[in-house]
Chains A and B, each alone.
Chain A
Amino acid sequence: MSLVFLGALSHAPGIVGRADQADAAAKDGFYAGLGRMREALEAAKPDALVVIGAEHFANFFMDNMPAYAIGMAEHYEGPIEDEDWLKIKRGRIPGNPGLSLRLIRSIMNDVDLAYAEEWKFDHGIMVPLHFLTPCYDLPIVPVNINCQGPPLTPLHRAWAFGEALRKACDAAPERIAVVGTGGISHWPATPDSGKINETWDREFLDRWVRGDREALLSYTDEDTYREAGQGGFEIRTFIPIAAAARGAPAEVWFYQPIPIFAVGCTVAVVKLDA
Chain B
Amino acid sequence: MSLYALQKFIYHLNRDPDLQARFKTDRAGAVAPYEFTEEERQAVLGGDVGLLYVLGVNGQLLMHFAALEGMPWADYIQSMRDGVDRYGPVRAGIYAMTTRQDEKVAGV
Contact = CB atoms under 8 A, between A and B. Distances in A.
Interface of A: 13-14, 17-18, 21, 56-59, 61-63, 80-82, 85-86, 120, 122, 148-150, 187-195, 225, 229-230, 259-260, 262
Contacts of A58: 14-15
B32 interface: no
A190 B95 contact: yes
Contact of A190 (B4, B64, B97): B97
Contacts of A13: 63
Contacts of A229: 98
Contacts of B14: 57-58, 80-81
List of 6 A-B pairs having minimum Cβ-Cβ separation, nearest first: A194-B106, A189-B59, A56-B60, A194-B105, A259-B106, A85-B67
10 contacts: A56-B60, A82-B70, A120-B15, A122-B64, A149-B58, A188-B60, A189-B59, A190-B97, A191-B84, A225-B94
Interface residues of B, number: 32
A189 B71 CA distance: 13
Contacts of A62: 4, 7-8
Contacts of B8: 61-63
Interface stretch (B21-29, B40-48, B73-81): B73-81
Interface of B: 4, 7-8, 11, 14-15, 53, 58-64, 67-68, 70, 73, 77, 80-81, 84, 94-99, 105-108
B95 A230 contact: yes
Contacts of A59: 15
A192 B15 contact: no
Contacts of A230: 59, 94-95
A164 B83 CA distance: 45
Contact of B77 (A85, A191, A225): A191
A62 B6 CA distance: 12
B67 A191 contact: no
A122 B64 CA distance: 10
Contact of B15 (A17, A80, A262): A80
SS class, residues of chain B in contact with chain A: helix
A187 B98 CA distance: 9
Given A62-B4, A149-B58, A194 B107 contact: yes
B15 A190 contact: no
A259 B94 contact: no
Nearest to A149: B58
Contacts of B61: 56-57
Given A14-B73, A194-B106, A262-B106, A189 B60 contact: yes
B46 to A, nearest CB: 19
Contacts of B60: 56-57, 148, 188-189
A149 B99 CA distance: 23
Contact of A191 (B15, B64, B97): B97
Contacts of A21: 73, 108
B49 to A, nearest CB: 11
Which of A14, A17, A57 has its CB near the most chain B CB atoms (within 10 A)? A57
Which of A150, A192, A229 has its CB near the most chain B CB atoms (within 10 A)? A192
A195 B101 CA distance: 14
Contacts of B84: 191
Nearest to A258: B106
A189 B62 contact: yes
Given A150-B94, A188-B59, A191-B84, A81 B106 contact: no
